[in-house]
Amino acid sequence: MPEASIRVVSSTTIHLSNKLERSGWELTAWDVAMLSAHYIQKGLLFPKPPMPFDAVSQRLQTSLSHCLLHFPFLSGRFATDPETTTFVDCNDAGALFVVAKADELHVSDLVNAVDVPAIVRSFFLMDGAINFDGYSLPLVAVQVTELEDGVFVGCSFNHAMGDGESFWHFFNSWSELSAGHPSITRPPLTERPQIHNELGPVRYLPSEDHMERFKTPVLRERIFHFSAQAVARIKAKANEQSKLGKGEISSLQALSALMWRSITRARNLPSGQTTGCRLAAGYRKRLDPPLPREYFGNCIRAILTEAKAGELLGQDLGWAAQALHETVSRQTGDTAREHLEGLIKNPHVYHLSWFDPNSIMVGSSPRFEMYGSDFGWGKGLAVLSGSAHKFDGKISAFPGKDVGGNVDLEVCLFPHYMAALESDEEFLDALLPSH
């Protein structure tokens, strides 16, 4: 790839297209727990639009202003009620919109690269910011970067405002308005769930002393593409080898088991070393009553499955997948309530440094509608992310670009572990579309 550079062309604060009555928006215990984490940084690479880039930029700014009317809290800033906790002051302080130009950078430089190029991090704003910074920084910051033959739309989104489901709900709603739809297809549900009304608000006054400024280490990042045929084969193998009494191991559970085993082997852990696999489990469907996908906010928890390295590698793929499946199956409305009660009784914020370096963490989901976004000039070519929440062992699952069950896994590892993974026989065999 040639030596590319990014230069900022303009920076604008985007306000609501119409003034709304100023009010507050309360954060839940699940939201408050995210205050020390990074902003979500995700975006889409698009082909070159059939219109001047200035027109593209103006369309995106106008549609973002209209979209914020449906999500007005995203145009506010955090504030503190001394009697309770952090909330959003819907004061329309605005979202940040930056236009940038990537000189000498082409779409092929990104989609054909083995490792995710380091320049991708420059496609996102709020690098290094944590959600607690939302007292003074925008809760949403967009950077639209013009490539020589394409456009990248990168969005940095305060994770205390919502999880991945909420992020893509907002992103896709914005794309609908940009493409000319008169309104959004799925208005957000902002009423707090019944469980929060029953348990009451979290009483926690955050301060900088409670926060951690996590610095992303030097990593290699690769996106591994699993075809629909490969995913089906891995899932079938896991189900055939497992001893499940009921239910079925999902595609993501099977892929997570594969990565847990392969990365544990790449790390060459002692047989007696405990290793874990954390999965980001969504609670919307598990609550009683369940919540629709349109619920806006955080409704997730990282759930842990552990094993000794020797046991994990001494058994087959089905054993590991079954262990993950059983952990997921134990997540119910009751466990969600128990977890939330714990956060209310003992409020705290998650620190990325708590992550076990002998484990892996699988976040995001291939079920998110990432390629559903069309801003008016065609579907996206690739999903890419910034430096947020990246550490050795972090994996993000994305749907493949082509419909039909393809899955992409963005894998972050220390360079020597990535080199070992790239020669792991079980992993390489699983990547093959068919035998």
Residue 254 CA to chain centroid, in angstroms?
20
Q: Is 374 a catalytic residue?
A: yes
What per-residue confidence (pLDDT) applies to 2?
52
Maximum C-alpha span of the chain: 63
Q: For residue 243, what pLDDT band results from cuts at 50, 70 and 90?
A: confident
Q: What is the rounded average pLDDT of the residues 132-153? A: 98
| Structure tokens belonging to residue 407 | 């899955």
| % residues pLDDT > 90 (the chain) | 85
Q: Is 159 a catalytic residue?
A: yes
pLDDT of residue 85 exceeding 90:
no
Q: What is the rounded average pLDDT of the residues 278-288? A: 93
Q: What is the CATH T-level fold of the domain 220-431, as seen in this structure?
A: Chloramphenicol Acetyltransferase (3.30.559)
Q: What is the rounded average pLDDT of the residues 203-229? A: 94
Domain at 8-210, CATH homologous superfamily: Chloramphenicol acetyltransferase-like domain (3.30.559.10)
Q: For residue 192, what pLDDT band results from cuts at 50, 70 and 90?
A: confident
286 or 4: which leads in pLDDT: 286
pLDDT in tens, 363-380: 999 999 999 889 999 999
Q: How far is CA 248 from CA 251, 364, 393, in A?
A: 9, 21, 26
Compute the mean pLDDT over every residue in the chain, rounded to the nearest whole number.
Answer: 94
pLDDT of residue 434 exceeding 70:
no
pLDDT of residue 435 exceeding 80:
no
3-state secondary structure 359-373: CEEEEECCCCCCCCC
pLDDT of residue 3 exceeding 70:
no
pLDDT in tens, 312-334: 999 999 999 999 999 999 999 99
Helix-then-strand count for the chain, H and E:
12, 15
pLDDT of residue 292 exceeding 70:
yes
Angle at 68 between CA 66 and CA 71, to 5 degrees: 135
Q: What is the rounded average pLDDT of the residues 240-250? A: 88
Q: What is the rounded average pLDDT of the residues 331-352? A: 92
Residue ranges, comma separated, of all CATH 3.30.559.10 domains in the chain are: 8-210, 220-431
pLDDT of residue 234 exceeding 80:
yes
Q: What is the rounded average pLDDT of the residues 349-373? A: 93
Pick from 121, 220, 251: which is nearest to 421 by CA?
220
Active-site residue, from 81, 316, 356, 374: 374
Query: 30 and 300 in contact (C-beta within 8 Å)?
Result: yes
Q: What is the rounded average pLDDT of the residues 255-272? A: 98
Residue 399's DSSP bridge partners are 407
Active-site residue, from 38, 159, 196, 325: 159
CB-count exposure of residue 51 (10 Å: 0-12, 13-18, 19+): exposed
The tokens 């779409």 sit on which residue?
Answer: 107
Q: For residue 307, what pLDDT band results from cuts at 50, 70 and 90?
A: very high
pLDDT of residue 1 exceeding 60:
no
Comparing 11-25, 229-243, 302-316, which segment has the lowest mean pLDDT? Answer: 11-25
